[in-house]
Structure 1
Amino acid sequence: MKNIIGIDIGGTTIKGGRIEGDIIAEQLSEETNALEGGNKTLSILMGTIKKLMTKETTAIGIGVPSVVDRERGIVYNVQNIKDWDEVHLKSLLEKEFHIPVFIDNDANCFAYGEKIFGKGKEYGNFVGITLGTGVGGGIIQNNHLLNDANCGSGEFGELPYLDATLEEYCGSRFFTRVGNISAYEAALKAKEGDNRSIELYNEYGKHIAVLVKIILLVIDPQAIIFGGSIAQSFKLFDKSMYENLKNFPYPNSVKKIKILVSELQNIGVLGAGALCV
């Protein structure tokens, strides 16, 4: 990867970087202007790429919060970006820039970014899970992203759970619904010794244990790598998580699984760039 571009498209910002070797040599962030419509967002995206490109740039990788037809590079039903119901992004960008373009779901980009740049390097089979506003997942098997049909595997957060879905209990809305506080604020208070916040994270760990059990039963990977904002508070819920894994029917699986936390900065950009590998 001598010179590639990684683009992380979000509902509010487009983050892009030119990756040279294993480092981001230059990085930009632009407002998505999602409410103004798809053409405006597309124009901003192209402008960001133009600013980052050099004569040596060989490929572009893009992560989007939606399902993707990987082969044709068509993006469907992008949440939070108006009029991006079906965008033939690969063909549009390749016509404009004349280099290969690779597109995937942002959670898949996280997982593959960990494979290429992070703790996933030493594992051929693992699951990457992002814990933030939502719960996204990407599956690495035999050192590659799982070649699923619709780019939708690993979306464990959408599974029915209790009175809602796993995402409602493993994402940030758990803290606002149950504790009337943000995950970040709860983490700060828990570290200061606030008992209510400590208990809130202990309860959160119980739900994360359910997520881990499902991953073990469905995928049985070598490792699970957590990323996202809530994962940075892993030490506040790891004991509760492991305590609630003790009743798993296959204890040897729990004993062997490596549960890790990503240490990569700018993983959205790096993960998108990893698609070019």
Structure 2
Amino acid sequence: MDKFYIGIDLGGTNLKTSLFNNSFIKIHEVRVPTKAILGSDYVINKIANTVSSLLTSHNLSSKDIICIGIGVPGILDVENGISKFSPNFYNWENVNIVKFIEGTLNIPTFIDNDVRVNLYGERYFGAGKDKDNIVLLTLGTGLGAGIIIDGHILYGATSSVGEIGHMNMYRNGRSCKCGSSGCLGRYVSALGMIQTLKDKLDRGEKSIISDWIDHDYNKITANMISEAFDLEDTVAISTLYETGELLGYGLVNVINMYNPEIIIIGGGMSKAGDRLLKKTREVIKNHALKISAEACSIVPAELGDSAGMIGAAFYAKCRYEKNLNY
């Protein structure tokens, strides 16, 4: 009888779960609200209940599942299956996810950072296929990154390699939840770009977006800024250009340090496309080491928001078979 894998992408807004066959073809997918505000006990029970329902709907038992992989945001103890801290989750410190899921479902379970499982997805099934030197950026509510060098995914002493979003860009910039200020992710992210627009409006700059939101800043979205850009709104254009330019300087450092052959841009904000990346590419061309920059392509992610699920499932397979290439 066929065996299956389960990949889970745990987000602050949605819990995404997919069932894959042995060839990593998706059999079924379930998306439900995470309701992170209800705390860790609720969320990990929600994970277990979602998997149980998925198995029932396909007449499967725990014995039919080889293993489960879960992508979790924040700082993790990967080896022991503990989520140590996640800033966007309530009552979430030292949550022993693996112990609970394995104890409840009796299925081998493995966790890793949400960006790294996206990187596994794109490396083996998407834009990074056949590449051994990759940086994956996820541009969403925040800015995350995962890195593969010479075929090895990087983890570091505390499994926190790739925190490009906390690269300091300004001595006295916007405060960050990490405790520092001026971090790249406070500017190059959906929330960061929206704040840049708000700052311009506060200075009296005129934008069509003010009419769209009836001067209620809480209604501003990253997509609105792209829409206004296409209508030649000068404030939206300068906002996207400034955001793309700062991303470029961040990636200059990334290219000079890691020498990737490809940088994959994913996350919801990546939909801005060349509105954002035109300036990014210009900065890289003018400021990165010439030979390194010429060897590096900047491309969009191919798998969209499905990368985390297939990446988590594949990562779990590798951990289960003990052939993960750290």
Larger Rg: 2
Supply the distance in 1 between the matched residues of 2:252 and 2:28 (Cα, whole angstroms).
40
Residue of structure 2 in register with 1:12 after alignment: 13
Q: Decide whether aligned partners of structure 1 residues 98 and 35 sit closer, same or farther in structure 2, where only a CA change above 3 A counts.
A: same
Q: Decide whether aligned partners of structure 1 residues 82 and 179 sit closer, same or farther in structure 2, where only a CA change above 3 A counts.
A: closer
Structure 1 SS opposite 2:7: strand
Structure 2 SS opposite 1:121: coil
1:224 equivalent to 2:263? Answer yes
Q: Give the C-alpha shift of residue 249 in structure 1.
A: 5.1
1:73 equivalent to 2:73? Answer no
Structure 1 SS opposite 2:132: coil
Residue of structure 2 in register with 1:274 after alignment: 314
Supply the distance in 2 between the matched residues of 1:81 and 1:249 (Cα, whole angstroms).
37
Structure 1 SS opposite 2:88: coil
Supply the distance in 2 between the matched residues of 1:248 and 1:204 (Cα, whole angstroms).
17
Structure 2 SS opposite 1:138: strand
Residue of structure 2 in register with 1:173 after alignment: 191
Structure 1 SS opposite 2:6: strand
The residue identity in structure 2 corresponding to 1:207 is L
- Give 5+ residue unaligned stretches, structure 1: none
In the TM superposition, what whole-angstrom CA distance separates every residue of 1:47-67 from its partner, at most 9, and x where no partner exists? Answer: 011122334321100011111
**Contact kept in structure 2, 1:135 and 1:156, CA below 8 Å:** yes
Supply the distance in 1 between the matched residues of 2:155 and 2:283 (Cα, whole angstroms).
32
Supply the distance in 2 between the matched residues of 1:219 and 1:139 (Cα, whole angstroms).
8
Percent identity, aligned pairs only, is 30
Q: Give the C-alpha shift of residue 273 in structure 1.
A: 1.7
| TM-score in terms of structure 1 length | 0.93
In the TM superposition, what whole-angstrom CA distance separates every residue of 1:227-252 from its partner, at most 9, and x where no partner exists? Answer: 00111212112221122123325211
Aligned-pair RMSD on alpha carbons? 1.9
Q: Give the C-alpha shift of residue 70 in structure 1.
A: 1.2
Supply the distance in 1 between the matched residues of 2:157 and 2:4 (Cα, whole angstroms).
30
- Give 5+ residue unaligned stretches, structure 2: 174-181, 199-219, 318-326
**Contact kept in structure 1, 2:142 and 2:165, CA below 8 Å:** yes
Alignment of 1:203-218 (within 5 A): 203-218=242-257
Supply the distance in 1 between the matched residues of 2:137 and 2:231 (Cα, whole angstroms).
27
Supply the distance in 2 between the matched residues of 1:36 and 1:107 (Cα, whole angstroms).
23
Residue of structure 2 in register with 1:192 after alignment: 231
Residue of structure 2 in register with 1:25 after alignment: 27
Alignment of 1:92-107 (within 5 A): 92-107=100-115
Which of these residues, 126, 129, 140, is aligned with residue 118 of structure 1? Answer: 126
Q: Give the C-alpha shift of residue 131 in structure 1.
A: 0.5
Supply the distance in 2 between the matched residues of 1:24 and 1:168 (Cα, whole angstroms).
35
Structure 1 SS opposite 2:187: helix
Residue of structure 2 in register with 1:134 after alignment: 142
